């Protein structure tokens, strides 16, 4: 293994250090850099020109599938090995399809990581053994049956639970009319005439769970438009939860996170978001003041304040600062988020 220039990307410094120390034992290998977020990664790739990227794709400000595709296009000869704690086979398949050369689980022995790097560098595809059975099983299921979109699969699962159209609409954050349109397409795809026939078909043919690319024709208007959304909350766990909800409602959105006013204003200047969701209480800081700061930088931005303690005075002060709404955290579900995003683009 000669002239192997590795860039290590992981948002935890201690993990980066452990990986780097482990790989330094391999001959002919140089660690050319370590980064911890998406923007730093893109800059380091251009600056260091590595021929091997070792990356945990769950970093801040990093959209895994889209970013990997972009990196693969820019650096077609570079090897990419994902090192992750996530063992979801659908997630792994998505990254493999996007262009990574291997997927290694973090809970495997460090000696296996060294072997993974060697195998990938040699031109082989590496997948941790625990994932192989899952992927093989999924591939055999996918060999037959109609190809459904992600939304059709979700809708079929809700049909199996006996939900009516109004309940499905609430669960998926869609209008009842949109649900009816999607069901019509689903019935046509399965060659059935009713919800009962669709459920019976899915029981007889479990292969209808086949993974497929989301069909743009079936998306709501809010999902068709590429928007940039900023989430500002000092609670990392809640930010992740909110990011998942927003990503489900608006799959085409570029979503950025900030935990305080300084990060929020810096991101506002660099990514120019069209929508921001800001917690009223940001640790020792004030989300309403944060709203005022961002509106001064981006007068056209739409801002919705969120809070676990809805208060009439919060609403008054927030509207005066430039927010368009005050949302109660306990009521902030897919339907409410969809309305906020849709309001942004109409």
CA atoms of 8 and 16, how far apart (whole Å): 7
Q: What is the pLDDT of residue 238?
A: 85
Q: What is the pLDDT of residue 276?
A: 93
Average pLDDT over residues 197-210: 68
The two counts, helices (H) then strands (E), for the chain are 16, 13
Note the pLDDT tens digit of each residue in 64-73.
888 898 999 8
Q: What is the pLDDT of residue 285?
A: 83
Higher-pLDDT residue of 216 and 129 is 129
Tokens of 31: 């660690």
Instruction: Using the predicted structure, report yes or no on whether residue 210 has a pLDDT greater than 50.
Output: no
Considering only 23-27, 107-111, 162-166, which range has the smallest mean pLDDT?
107-111
Higher-pLDDT residue of 202 and 17 is 17
DSSP string across 271-326 = H--SEEEEESEETTEEHHHHHHHHHHH-TT-EEEEEESS--HHHHHHHHHHT-SEE
Mean pLDDT of the chain: 81
Higher-pLDDT residue of 133 and 236 is 236
Tokens of 5: 């220039």
Instruction: Using the predicted structure, report yes or no on whether residue 194 has a pLDDT greater than 60.
Output: yes
Q: What is the pLDDT of residue 83?
A: 93
Where residue 2 falls among pLDDT bands split at 50, 70, 90? low
Instruction: Using the predicted structure, report yes or no on whether residue 7 has a pLDDT greater than 90.
Output: yes
Q: What is the pLDDT of residue 111?
A: 78
Higher-pLDDT residue of 93 and 20 is 20
Q: What is the pLDDT of residue 138?
A: 47
Instruction: Using the predicted structure, report yes or no on whether residue 220 has a pLDDT greater than 50.
Output: no
CA atoms of 148 and 57, how far apart (whole Å): 27
Q: What is the pLDDT of residue 71?
A: 93
Instruction: Using the predicted structure, report yes or no on whether residue 39 has a pLDDT greater than 50.
Output: yes
Average pLDDT over residues 233-250: 85
Query: Do 330 and 338 contact (CB within 8 A), yes or no?
Result: no
CA atoms of 322 and 301, how far apart (whole Å): 9
Mapped to the 3 state alphabet, what secondary structure does 33-73 carry?
EEECCHHHHHHHHHHHCCCEEEECCCCCCCCHHHHHHHHHH
Average pLDDT over residues 250-259: 85
Asked whether the CA dihedral 153, 155, 158, 159 is positive or negative, the reply is negative
102: nearest Cα among 67, 133, 76, 126? 126
Question: Which ranges of 164-311 would DSSP assign to H, the alpha helix?
Answer: 165-172, 176-190, 195-204, 221-224, 236-249, 261-271, 287-297
Q: What is the pLDDT of residue 152?
A: 78
Tokens of 303: 């801002």
Give the SS3 label for residue 31.
Answer: strand
Residues in the chain: 346
Average pLDDT over residues 162-188: 82
Q: What is the pLDDT of residue 233?
A: 92
Torsion angle (degrees, nearest 10) of CA 131, 133, 136, 139: -70
Report the chain's C-alpha Rg in angstroms: 23
Which residues does 324 contact at the CB level (< 8 Å), separation at least 6? 302, 303, 304, 343
Instruction: Using the predicted structure, report yes or no on whether residue 9 has a pLDDT greater than 90.
Output: yes
Average pLDDT over residues 113-121: 91
Q: What is the pLDDT of residue 58?
A: 86
Average pLDDT over residues 126-136: 72
CA atoms of 96 and 162, how far apart (whole Å): 35
- DSSP letter for 191, please: T
**Which residue ranges form the domains of the chain, and what is each CATH number?**
4-139 (3.40.50.2300), 150-217 (1.10.10.10), 221-345 (3.40.50.2300)
End-to-end CA distance of the chain: 56
- CA separation, residue 281 to residues 59, 215, 257 (Å): 25, 39, 15
Where residue 140 falls among pLDDT bands split at 50, 70, 90? very low
Q: What is the pLDDT of residue 317?
A: 87
Instruction: Using the predicted structure, report yes or no on whether residue 103 has a pLDDT greater than 80.
Output: yes
229: nearest Cα among 250, 205, 256? 256
Considering only 114-128, 201-215, 253-267, which range has the smallest mean pLDDT?
201-215
Q: At what angle do helices 176-190 and 165-172 cross, to 10 degrees?
A: 100
Instruction: Using the predicted structure, report yes or no on whether residue 88 has a pLDDT greater than 80.
Output: no
Give the SS3 label for residue 138.
Answer: helix
Tokens of 220: 């709501």
Average pLDDT over residues 247-271: 87
pTM of the full structure:
0.43
CA atoms of 32 and 29, how far apart (whole Å): 9
Tokens of 195: 């919800």
């Amino acid at each position: 293994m000669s002239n192997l220039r590795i860039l290590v990307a992981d948002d935890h410094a201690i993990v980066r250090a452990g990986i780097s120390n482990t790989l330094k034992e391999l001959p002919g290998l140089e660690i050319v850099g370590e980064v911890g977020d998406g923007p730093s990664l893109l800059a380091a790739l251009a600056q260091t020109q590595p021929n091997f990227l070792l990356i945990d794709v769950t970093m801040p400000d990093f959209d895994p599938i889209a970013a990997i595709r972009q990196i693969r296009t820019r650096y077609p000869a570079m090897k990419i090995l994902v090192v992750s704690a996530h063992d979801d086979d659908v997630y792994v398949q998505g990254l493999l399809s996007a262009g990574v050369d291997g997927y290694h689980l973090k809970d495997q022995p460090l000696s296996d990581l060294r072997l993974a790097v060697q195998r990938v560098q040699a031109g082989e595809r590496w997948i941790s053994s625990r994932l192989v059975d899952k992927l093989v099983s999924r591939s055999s299921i996918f060999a037959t049956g109609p190809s459904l979109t992600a939304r059709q699969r979700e809708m079929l699962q809700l049909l199996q639970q006996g939900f009516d159209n109004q309940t499905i609409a609430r669960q998926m954050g869609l209008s009842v009319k949109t649900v009816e349109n999607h069901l019509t397409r689903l019935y046509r795809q399965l060659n059935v005439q009713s919800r009962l026939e669709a459920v019976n078909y899915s029981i007889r043919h479990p292969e209808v769970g086949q993974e497929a690319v989301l069909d743009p024709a079936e998306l709501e208007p809010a999902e068709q438009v590429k928007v940039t959304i900023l989430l500002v909350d000092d609670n990392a766990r809640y930010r992740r939860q909110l990011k998942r909800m927003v990503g489900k409602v608006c799959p085409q959105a570029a979503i950025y996170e900030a935990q305080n006013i300084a990060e929020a204003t810096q991101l506002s200047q660099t990514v120019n978001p069209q929508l921001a969701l800001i917690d009223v209480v940001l640790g020792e800081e004030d989300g309403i003041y944060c709203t005022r700061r961002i509106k001064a930088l981006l007068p056209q931005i739409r801002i919705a304040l969120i809070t676990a303690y809805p208060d009439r005075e919060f609403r008054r002060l927030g509207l005066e600062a430039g927010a368009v709404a005050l949302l109660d955290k306990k009521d902030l579900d897919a339907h409410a988020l969809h309305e906020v995003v849709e309001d942004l683009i109409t």
